[in-house]
């Protein structure tokens, strides 16, 4: 679609790079050509804890096509202080699947064959990979991701719980989840003298550039990171991973370009995952549903290598009003890979516990779940006391209830039946912070009336390239066709990563500022553009720092219909409704896709996804998409997505809030609440497998239910 200057933002614009992607012209990390490249294959530890006492690489080196084998005994020292990137630097094994060697060969087949001939001698030590609420290893971290206090308390929650008319006290569990983007982690590394170029799949070229420069003790200007197209990340590519460092090490060792791509199985080991959680939520309330106490305690895991503390209980700090609140996080250092970001870190698992507990309270009180949430709506942020820049949760709940047909719902479980299927409905709230980070951008006016913007942003399949072009066109007041945006290259002005739902807000701010500066320059030249063009570069650091202290969040409401087969316990979700308040929507077409994708991922989280740990071998056993189940087309019913028009001038010049993550928040709870409404069984440990339902003899449940 062509958008005019008056309405580029808000128009349904198809992806500008769409044709390149469907015709194969778009180059991903492994697609870049190079002269005489070598190929690498990773050797992983078969044990979760121990010491490498010897590595025999002779067999690998004598294998056809193998040109080098890297291991801790012959790998140059890296200057990184990030334990995740200090690959092949130590004889210690800290988790099953850790990289212990790298085979480089003339072909990928030869590299793989050579990797099977590397012989490890290991001193195996006792390991612990099981998260437990009573683990003696538990400790309180100083902070949780990204920089929140681990614990908070206000009022006297213990006394308030003791005096409450009614108390909900329940434990909820979520398993480990693994990011599975369509494109695996992959890099091609090329050294020219002391300068390094990597073609890498990541969520931010600038952070990868900085990490590589530090690791190899060279200037940032000597490192170029190219990531023009990225096939998804979900957080796993938000920080540099071992792949990019290994490729660079190998390329320097063999003095030629090296390509390295992780297999799907390998990606379950060293590119991050969502920590499992054990959560206890206690809610105290009066008989009319007013919350008098909210307590949310979380137990989760981290690794022996480095600490990552997911902010699971942070969502509870600002969601509902109560004078007495406490949230805590406790970690256990286990012999596992380090957890990391996965779509809506913290909010996704935390909302399952909080929004399930709210539903349990509504059921116990006999109050409609939507009404209960409305009764506990805060006027300001309960945690900070700050004014909300905008908070339209009640509008989302109201519109969602209307679109779903919530009115007249019988609150009693097991009251609707359609043949073999018991039918129920559930609701949950969604929220996610509306963050921005400083960004740079450049804008150039060219002869002929066209304009080019440059910044090292990342389009990880979200449509960022298209949205930023729309923002630039509006900022200049010109048709979309006269604007182009270059991104995905660290040589462009530095930009923050695509993560935390802050990309469009951060990058869009820089583009608006660049457009303003360019417009001013053009005024000074009377609109005349010299042959070389007019270029400006801006930095929003001071603008972002000057933001007024406000509580900035996006909100949403999720409504779900669940059907449960009384004979098999099979759960089907024929329809979901999501209504969101996320500031100004730049591109309704791609925004809708993002929200549907998030809700689909939440459905997958609720019913299917689970990384299963074998405590004997010390690692996950379902490390491929045959055994790690995710929602497929047949699992997803009708998803109705909409949003409220929201004008929030206290966000950024475009008025956007992030939409990449809020879609997953609350979905799992809405599904669990709908299943409870259908069959009267409360599943508090995800996923909701049929074996957790069939043990309750569903065939006799709902005999008095109304047919639908």
| Neighbouring C-alpha atoms within 13 Å toward the C-beta of 34 | 22
Instruction: Encode pLDDT of 502-546 as tens digits.
Output: 999 999 999 999 999 999 999 999 999 999 999 999 999 999 988
β-pair partners for 51: 92, 123
Those residues whose C-beta lies under 8 Å from the C-beta of residue 425, and which sit 6 or more positions away, are: 404, 406, 409, 559, 560, 561, 562, 674, 677
Which segments of the chain belong to CATH 3.30.365.10?
A: 36-126+181-263, 138-174+276-334, 363-435+549-707, 438-543
Q: Is residue 222 within a helix (H) or strand (E), and if so which, with residue range? A: none
Per-residue tokens: 366: 């006999």
Question: pTM for this one?
Answer: 0.97
Token match 């600002």: residue?
Answer: 318
> Residue 392 in contact with residue 644, Cβ under 8 Å?
yes
Short-list 368, 379, 437, CA closest to 408? 368
Instruction: Encode pLDDT of 386-444 as tens digits.
Output: 999 999 999 999 999 999 999 999 999 999 999 999 999 999 999 999 999 999 999 99
Instruction: Encode pLDDT of 194-232 as tens digits.
Output: 999 999 999 999 999 999 999 999 999 999 999 999 999
Short-list 419, 445, 488, 464, CA closest to 202? 488
Residue 706 clears pLDDT 80, i.e. is over it = no
Which CATH number applies to 36-126+181-263? 3.30.365.10
| Catalytic center residues | 661
Residue 353 sits at the vertex; the CA angle it makes with 350 and 356, to the nearest 5 degrees, is 135
Q: Omega into 146 within 30° of 0, i.e. cis?
A: yes
What is the maximal distance between C-alpha atoms in the chain? 82
Which CATH number applies to 138-174+276-334? 3.30.365.10
How far, in Å, CA of 388 to CA of 375, rounded?
Answer: 18
Q: What is the mean pLDDT of residues 622-643?
A: 96
Fold of 438-543: Aldehyde Oxidoreductase; domain 4 (3.30.365)
What is the rounded radius of gyration, in angstroms, for the C-alpha atoms of the chain?
26
Instruction: Encode pLDDT of 453-498 as tens digits.
Output: 999 999 999 999 999 999 999 999 999 999 999 999 999 999 999 9
State phi, psi for 303 to the nearest 5 degrees. Answer: -105, 175
Those residues whose C-beta lies under 8 Å from the C-beta of residue 538, and which sit 6 or more positions away, are: 440, 441, 442, 443, 510, 513, 514, 517
Is 363-435+549-707 assigned to CATH 3.30.365.10? yes
**E-strand stretches of 481-622:** 483-486, 534-539, 551-565, 571-581, 613-614, 619-620
Residue 650 sits at the vertex; the CA angle it makes with 592 and 646, to the nearest 5 degrees, is 35
Residue 397 sits at the vertex; the CA angle it makes with 395 and 399, to the nearest 5 degrees, is 65
| Neighbouring C-alpha atoms within 13 Å toward the C-beta of 99 | 31
Q: Is residue 64 within a helix (H) or strand (E), and if so which, with residue range? A: none
Residue 560 sits at the vertex; the CA angle it makes with 298 and 371, to the nearest 5 degrees, is 75
């Amino acid at each position: 679609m062509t958008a005019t200057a008056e309405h580029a933002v808000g128009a349904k614009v198809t992806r500008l790079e769409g044709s390149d992607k469907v015709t194969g012209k778009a180059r991903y990390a492994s697609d870049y050509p190079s002269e005489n490249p070598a190929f690498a294959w990773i050797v992983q530890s078969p044990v979760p804890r121990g010491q490498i006492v010897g590595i025999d690489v002779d067999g690998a080196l004598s294998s056809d096509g193998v040109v080098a084998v890297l291991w801790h005994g012959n790998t140059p020292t890296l200057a990184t202080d990030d334990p995740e990137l200090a690959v092949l630097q130590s004889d210690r094994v800290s988790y099953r699947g850790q990289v212990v060697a790298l085979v480089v060969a003339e072909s990928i087949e030869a590299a793989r064959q050579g990797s099977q001939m590397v012989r490890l001698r290991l001193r195996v030590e006792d390991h612990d990979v099981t998260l437990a609420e009573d683990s003696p290893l538990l400790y309180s971290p100083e902070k949780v991701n990204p920089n929140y206090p681990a614990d908070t308390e206000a009022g006297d929650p213990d006394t308030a719980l003791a005096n409450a008319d009614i108390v909900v006290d329940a434990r909820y569990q979520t398993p480990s989840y693994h990011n599975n983007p369509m494109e695996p982690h992959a890099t091609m590394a090329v050294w020219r003298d002391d300068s390094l170029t990597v073609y890498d799949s990541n969520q931010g070229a600038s952070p990868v550039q900085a990490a590589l420069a530090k690791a190899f003790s060279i200037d940032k200007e000597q490192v170029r990171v190219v990531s023009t197209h990225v096939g998804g990340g979900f957080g796993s590519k938000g920080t540099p991973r071992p792949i990019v460092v290994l490729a660079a090490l190998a390329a320097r060792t063999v003095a030629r370009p090296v390509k390295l791509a992780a297999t799907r199985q390998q990606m379950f080991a060293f590119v991050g995952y969502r920590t499992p959680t054990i959560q206890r939520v206690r809610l105290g309330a009066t008989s009319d549903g007013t919350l008098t106490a909210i307590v949310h305690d979380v137990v989760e895991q981290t690794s022996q290598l480095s600490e990552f503390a997911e902010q699971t209980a942070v969502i509870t700090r600002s969601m509902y009003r109560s004078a007495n609140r406490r949230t805590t996080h406790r970690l256990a250092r286990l012999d596992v890979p380090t957890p990391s970001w996965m779509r809506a870190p913290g909010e996704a698992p935390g909302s399952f516990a909080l929004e399930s507990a709210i539903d349990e309270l509504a059921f116990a009180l006999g109050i409609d779940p939507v009404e209960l949430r409305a009764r506990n709506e805060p006027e300001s942020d309960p945690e900070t006391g700050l004014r909300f820049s905008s908070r339209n949760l009640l509008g989302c709940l109201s519109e969602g209830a209307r679109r779903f047909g919530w009115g007249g719902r019988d609150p009693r479980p097991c009251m609707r039946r359609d043949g073999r299927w018991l039918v129920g409905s559930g609701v949950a709230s969604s929220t996610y912070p509306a963050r921005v980070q400083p960004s740079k951008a450049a804008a150039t006016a060219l002869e002929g009336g066209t304009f080019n913007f440059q910044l090292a942003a990342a389009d990880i399949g979200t449509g960022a390239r298209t949205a930023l072009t729309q923002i630039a066109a509006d900022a200049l007041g010109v048709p979309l066709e006269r604007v182009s945006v270059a991104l995905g290259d660290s040589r462009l002005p530095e930009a923050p990563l695509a993560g935390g739902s802050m990309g469009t807000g951060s990058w869009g701010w820089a583009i608006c500022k660049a457009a303003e500066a360019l417009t001013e320059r053009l005024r000074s030249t009377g609109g005349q553009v010299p042959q070389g063009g007019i270029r400006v570069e801006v930095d929003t650091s001071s603008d972002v720092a000057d933001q007024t202290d406000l509580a900035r969040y996006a909100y949403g409401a999720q409504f779900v219909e669940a059907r449960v087969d009384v004979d098999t316990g099979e759960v089907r979700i024929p329809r979901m409704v999501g209504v969101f308040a996320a500031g100004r929507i730049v591109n309704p077409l791609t925004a809708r896709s993002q929200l549907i994708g998030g809700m689909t991922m939440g459905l997958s989280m609720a019913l299917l996804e689970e990384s299963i740990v074998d405590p004997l071998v010390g690692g996950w056993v379902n490390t491929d998409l045959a055994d790690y189940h995710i929602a497929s087309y047949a699992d997803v019913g009708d998803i109705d997505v909409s949003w409220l028009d929201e004008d929030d001038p206290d966000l950024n010049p475009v008025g956007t809030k992030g939409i990449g993550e809020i879609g997953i928040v609350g979905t799992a709870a809405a599904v669990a609440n709908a299943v409870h409404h259908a069959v009267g069984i409360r599943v508090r440990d995800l996923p909701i497998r049929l074996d957790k339902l069939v043990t309750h003899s569903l065939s006799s449940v709902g005999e008095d239910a109304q047919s639908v």
